[in-house]
Amino acid sequence: MILDGFAPESIASGARSICAGELLGLPTETVYGLAADADNQAAIAKIFAAKGRPADHPLIVHVPDSASADHFAARVPDFARQLMQAFWPGPLTVILPRQPGVAGSAAGGQDSIGLRCPAHPVAQALLQACQGLGVWGIAAPSANQFGRVSPTTAQHVQGEFGDSLVILDGGPCAIGIESTIIDCTRGQPVLLRPGAITPAQIQSACGQRVLSKEELLAHAAPAPRASGTLESHYAPKAKVRLMDAKTLQTALDLLGADIDGAGQVIATYSRVILQSRSMKVLRRRMPDDAAATAQQLFAVLREFDAQGVKLIWVETPPDEPEWDGVRDRLERAAAG
């Protein structure tokens, strides 16, 4: 059931369901989450079951402000504090040492915890209402089946979990790809998942260089399991291939006027305008701007799936830092 997330009565009833241990579809500025009380083990078990997600894959816990982070974190290093100050509320998740005995199942048994303070007004209103009822934080992975494309509208969430799930509608997500994840448990910021906030912004906010996962792996213990960091993830049903614009045009030329079977089997998504002699190739323009592309990316992949597309040919995004988040999601979709 989809409720208007901006209506005060929806927030009140959403907060009551969270307190009662129910699941709730929740908008954030990145993607929609499947929310539950972070300290309620039975409710957390429902998230893992609904998503088909392995129970040792930790969930992000959402908090209304940085003061609430201290309930979950055993320790907050100075540089992490600076990042929270600079980017919260917003699309940044910090991994911190976990307070023992708190949110253990949400953390998938890790001794760390992922914390994020979302900026979306509906998420903020819900978090504050829940806090008023004694709930410190809300665990919410992206509201999609394990391994699939994250939802960026309430309708996407309904498509994933059906009508029995209550979903707060907060409109289409403004950012469209998941938060940047920075591991703050290793003495220096480590980028676990690229997002709208870039390593350069992290560095300038805390004055420390951001290590890549590869650099970390080269000289440290393995990073905790992170499903958003599995190679094949964010996959639509269609096969995704990434190629440069010239190769993409050559592929379309080779296809000629004829493609097998009926329907729009092939779709393209590119910044350049492509020529095709086949009427059946769906051609979708990728914006020139990385943020605009991120905002529509998952919705575009879902639209192609809904149209029965079997093969999506995507122009490889530019090799520039602001495109890292989009490129990362597309590379994972192509690995699926």
Q: Is 199 in the site for ligand TXA (CB under 6 A)?
A: no
Return the residue of 224, 236, 317, 336 that touches ligand TXA, per CB under 6 A.
224
Q: Is 178 in the site for ligand TXA (CB under 6 A)?
A: yes
- Per-position x/- string for 97-116, each x denoting binding to ligand TXA as judged by CB under 6 A, each - no binding: ----------x--x-xxx-x
Nearer to Mg ion, 73 or 149 (CB): 149
User: Which one, of 195, 220, 29, 202, lies nearest residue 122 by Cα?
Assistant: 29
- Secondary structure element (H or E) that encloses residue 36, with its range: strand 33-37
Could you tell me the end-to-end alpha-carbon distance of the chain, in angstroms, rounded to an integer?
31
Are residues 146 and 70 in contact, defined by beta-carbon separation less than 8 angstroms? no
Are residues 56 and 77 in contact, defined by beta-carbon separation less than 8 angstroms? no
Nearer to ligand TXA, 117 or 205 (CB): 117
Q: Smallest gap, in angstroms, from Cβ of residue 259 to ligand TXA?
A: 35
Find the angle CA(28)-CA(32)-CA(35) to the nearest 5 degrees: 90
Q: Is 196 in the site for ligand TXA (CB under 6 A)?
A: no
Q: Is 142 in the site for Mg ion (CB under 5 A)?
A: yes
Q: Is 140 in the site for ligand TXA (CB under 6 A)?
A: yes
Q: Is 60 in the site for ligand TXA (CB under 6 A)?
A: yes
DSSP letters, 170-187, are --S-SS-SPPEEEE-SSS
Nearer to Mg ion, 6 or 146 (CB): 146
Backbone angles phi, psi at 327, to 5 degrees: -60, -45
Burial class for 204, CB neighbours closer than 10 Å (0-12, 13-18, 19+): exposed
Nearer to Mg ion, 66 or 142 (CB): 142
Q: Point out the residue whose Cβ comes nearest to Mg ion.
A: 142
Q: Is 40 in the site for Mg ion (CB under 5 A)?
A: no
CA dihedral for 172, 174, 175, 178, sign (positive or negative): negative
Q: Is 158 in the site for ligand TXA (CB under 6 A)?
A: no
**Positions that interact with ligand TXA (CB under 6 A):** 28, 30-31, 33, 57-60, 93, 95, 107, 110, 112-114, 116, 140-142, 178-179, 181, 192, 224, 226-229
